[in-house]
Amino acid sequence: MIYLLVFASLFLLELFYFRLADRFNIIDKPNERSSHTKITLRGGGIIFYMGALIYFLISGFQYPWFFLGLTLMTLISFLDDVFTLSNKIRLLVHFSAVLLMAYQMHLFDMPWYYLLITFIIVVGVINAYNFMDGINGITACYSLAVGGLLLIVNYKIGYIVQDLLIFTLLGVLVFAFFNFRNSARCFAGDVGAVSIAYILLFALGTLILVTGNLIYILFLSVYGIDAVWTIIRRLYLKENIFEAHRSHLYQFLGNEAGFHKLLISFLYGAIQFLVGVIVIQISNYSVQAQAIFSIILLIFMSFMYLILKSWILKKYVKKISYV
């Protein structure tokens, strides 16, 4: 019953946000780098934060440092959606939020390189999550896949309070209702992509620390492959990797190759979930077996990615370029 009440509350909150966004003109106008063609409300992903906020309030303020970091991330991302802030301001807030997450995870009690590795991974994944939010449904489908995998593992070993994940994923379901459609009612915006990435990374990081098992990072392998190879290609072409673009595989599939965008979003989530289920099984094997599996998986995924992207570039983009 509590989950139904939370879901209903989040649904109403999303509708309330739509009225505010419409009144204050918080919209996403299409441009030459967009994958949409009409003006759409931006920032609907704020509902992810609302799900976590409800949990925080009814749990008696559990995970306070994490939630403070999440609040900072959400606030600065929402302001950036509305006003477009300086990169220096955003980086300062992101750095502070990562430190708060690290403090909540007790990383300051560990060797310094734990903090450094966490900072690099968190910042990298948050930016990848933000850049990958380019077609209807992809953030929702992928977040449900990763969140579902985290829930499965949590049910077995209990590394984090389950309701934090459940309440957040209820927010993702609400967002999916309005976004996973041919003509989206809203987009997640930076506020959505950044906040859900921060929440999932906190859960994933806690899982890795509790189990001491790095293989769970493969819960993000599909996004990781697309993001890393896209950066490599753009560096090769001497493009500014920090500028907006539409050269990810999912964008080429939807825009140039003409595949149905909702199908692409679903497949990104489905493939990640399938990979994650296999990872969960492999996590019971020896460290050596896990390392061999991880290397083979990443090589195979990279090979398939490069073959598919090369085919699209040659057939639809009308030129051959390094992938």
**Predicted pLDDT at 27:** 85
Helices 112-132 and 189-211 cross at an angle (nearest 10°) of: 140
Contacts of 44 (CB under 8 A, 6+ apart): 14, 17, 18, 21, 175, 178, 179, 185, 186, 187, 188, 189, 192
> At 29, is the secondary structure helix, strand, or coil?
coil
Side chain identity at residue 56, one-letter code: F
Helices 162-179 and 2-23 cross at an angle (nearest 10°) of: 50
Dihedral (Cα; 113, 119, 122, 127), 10-degree rounding: -140
Side chain identity at residue 286, one-letter code: S
Beta bridge partners of 28: 40
Residue pair 201/175 in contact (Cβ under 8 Å)? The answer is: no
Dihedral (Cα; 83, 89, 91, 94), 10-degree rounding: -80
Tell me the CB-side half-sphere exposure of residue 258, using CA atoms within 13 A: 3
State the DSSP code for 43: -
Distance CA 261, CA 61 (A): 39
Beta bridge partners of 41: 27, 186
Give me the DSSP letters along 197-263. Answer: HHHHHHHHHHHHHHHT-GGGGGGGHHHHHHHHHHHHHHHHTT--TTS----SHHHIIIIIS---HHH
**Predicted pLDDT at 245:** 82
Indicate the pTM of the whole model: 0.94
The angle formed by the CA atoms of residues 92, 95 and 99, to the nearest 5 degrees, is 140
Distance CA 50, CA 290 (A): 37
**Predicted pLDDT at 86:** 86
Distance CA 271, CA 25 (A): 36
Q: Which helix (DSSP H) or strand (DSSP E) does residue 41 occupy?
A: strand 40-41
Q: Is the alpha carbon torsion for 312, 313, 319, 321 positive or negative?
A: negative
> At 40, is the secondary structure helix, strand, or coil?
strand
Distance CA 263, CA 138 (A): 9
| Segment-wise mean pLDDT, segments of 10 residues, the chain, 323 residues | 96 96 83 60 96 97 97 96 88 94 94 87 90 93 98 97 97 97 94 97 97 97 96 91 85 92 97 98 97 98 96 76 44
**Predicted pLDDT at 323:** 44
